[in-house]
Structure 1
Amino acid sequence: MAYCYRCERPFRTLLALNQHTYDSSKHHMCPECTGDFKTLYELREHLVDEHDGCPECYDIFDSESDLQDHLFEEHNMCSICNQFFKSPSNLKYHQLVHREKTVKCFACYRMFVTKSAMVLHLEEGTCKPGIDVDVIDDLATDCYESHKYLDNDGDYKCPTCAKYFRFMSGLLQHAESDSCDETLRWKHGPLAVFLRFLKTRV
């Protein structure tokens, strides 16, 4: 007679007990050794600490550095806080929280990580009185490069991939991402021109 002390259940055979430990939600078995853990968290910690194993897919690696490379490349793990993300773009967006705020608001003292975040701050009306999304939209229309990022109906459109956005901040965030080749780094680009125009008007 076999017995599971954790679940307080008897089993007729050792084979039945083994099957129970692999099937039960109260047992989390290590694929590399005989370790049996109460929680999935404990199993994942064990895999990483004892076997250089991936806590996401349970693959085992020859070294800690190989494991780290795998986590970064296959599971989009943040190298700073070790959180996992569903896609590289989600990881990149998350990594903004770790970046230093170097972008100063054009109208107040506040600092931001990105230019799109600064423009969103202006659109939301949280800056000085009189600046809100309507003002930003009007200035976007007044800029001499507006025909490159506004369509005939006045909707924001990426100059490169023609994707539409409701707000200028969304278009700028798109340009800051890797979604397409549009960028704010080219000083003669229409969005970079708009930002310089905006700076002189708010």
Structure 2
Amino acid sequence: MPIAHICLSCTKTFTSLGGMDNHCQAKHHMANPNVCRECQLSFGSPAALQSHVNSSPRHVNDDDSDEYSDQAFEDYSDDSSTEASDDDEPYCQSCKRSFVDKIGLNQHLAYSAKHNWCFDCSRDFACEEDLVKHQNSLAHKERIFRCPFCEKLYKSPSGIAMHIESGCHKMTRHHVTAAAHAMRIVPNISLRTIKGGSAPAPPTNITTYIATEDSFNGKEYECFLCKRTFRSLQGLNAHLNSPAHDADEFKCPKCHVEFKLISGFAQHLESEACGLAARDDVNTFFDDITAQFSRLLRL
């Protein structure tokens, strides 16, 4: 059953996936990975998402059910399309102008100061900066990163990490975190070893919280750990089994922002927010990390 679009770090909910993505990118928070971007729906667990993919007629011929794992953080604008199809009159809805042919419309969209148009996905952006950010995002990148445990391809290293953290391949985010701590990454990003501790062993038992109708306080469903409230029981359970109550585990060695998950740190690097590494350097770095990561998780 779909739930509200939710930030798993602070439990704030959003009316759109774009709003959730933009918030998580700005705050370095983790978005709910269990989303169907094609249908613009969020779910409380990987099983619920997979059930949706399996049962929805829209996905009958869809072989890429892990699209939700790619967090292509981008600035969404109004999705109303201006570009006309071949059978329609070339018309710019926002400017209320008709054109002789589609070439004229496209030239208008390309050169008018009123538009910041992406021709690949037929979207208009509020400003040129937003368009450039969108074009540099994962939106139009090819899937070149392969999961070390299956044949799935992703657009970024963080996509692979989130795919495994979500519970695929009998792994959990706790196994991924333990494996990342065990690596000798230079510069050091592990808060455990920075603080003088030792790398934790992979967990043998995982605690799962399940809220019931007893969590309803008369108005909303209340988390017994942090007292945050949710409009639905599904939203509360998604929160309880998210990283929301996990400790920070990793730290950027340049800007010192801390992260609960290795995928969050990977997204931070990929965004080039602090300029620690260029994207090509990040990809090369994670190619090496993925090889070590694969060996550790197979032990």
Change (3 A) 1:103 1:191: closer
* Alpha-carbon distance in structure 1 between the residues aligned to 2:96 and 2:173: 51
Separation in 2, partners of 1:75, 1:165: 37
Please say which of residues 141-150 and 165-174 is displaced more in the overlay.
141-150
The residue type equivalent to 2:190 in the other structure is: L
Segments of 5+ residues of structure 2 without an aligned counterpart are 1-90, 196-247
Matched, 1:185 2:280: yes
Q: How does 1:86-101 map to 2 (within 5 A)?
A: 87-88=130-131, 91-92=134-135, 96-101=138-143
Structure 2 counterparts to residues 119-138 of structure 1, below 5 A: 119-126=161-168, 128-129=169-170, 131-138=171-178
Aligned twin of 1:44: 94
Deviation at 1:117, TM superposition (A): 0.5
Count of aligned residue pairs for this structure pair: 148
Query: Which residue in the other structure is 1:84 paired with?
Result: 124
TM, length-normalised to structure 2: 0.40
1:177–1:121: structure 2 CA closer, same or farther, 3 Å change rule? same
Aligned position for 1:196? 291
Question: TM-score, normalised on structure 1?
Answer: 0.56
Amino acid at match of 1:91: H
Whose radius of gyration is greater, 1 or 2?
A: 1
Q: Contact between 1:187 and 1:193, CA under 8 Å: does it hold in 2? A: no
Runs of 4+ in 1 over 2 A off after TM superposition: 41-50, 63-67, 74-79, 84-90, 95-100, 150-155, 182-196, 199-202
Q: 1:22-171, aligned counterparts within 5 Å?
A: 43-44=93-94, 46-47=96-97, 49=99, 65=107, 67-69=109-111, 76-85=116-125, 87-88=130-131, 91-92=134-135, 96-126=138-168, 128-129=169-170, 131-145=171-185, 148-151=188-191, 152=194, 155-171=249-265
Deviations 1:53-104 (A, max 9, x none): xxxxxxxxxx964741556xx86532301213453576247x5343321111
Letter matched to residue 182 of structure 1: L
Give 5+ residue unaligned stretches, structure 1: 1-40, 51-62
Structure 1 SS opposite 2:124: coil
- The higher-RCO structure (CA 8 Å, 6+ apart) is 2
Which amino acid in the other structure matches residue 255 of structure 2? C
The alpha-carbon deviation at position 138 of structure 1 amounts to 0.4
Cα distance in 2 for residues equivalent to 1:89 and 1:182: 20
Counterpart code for 2:260? R
Q: Percent identity?
A: 20
- When residues 91 and 190 of structure 1 are mapped into structure 2, their CA distance, relative to the original with a 3 A threshold, is closer
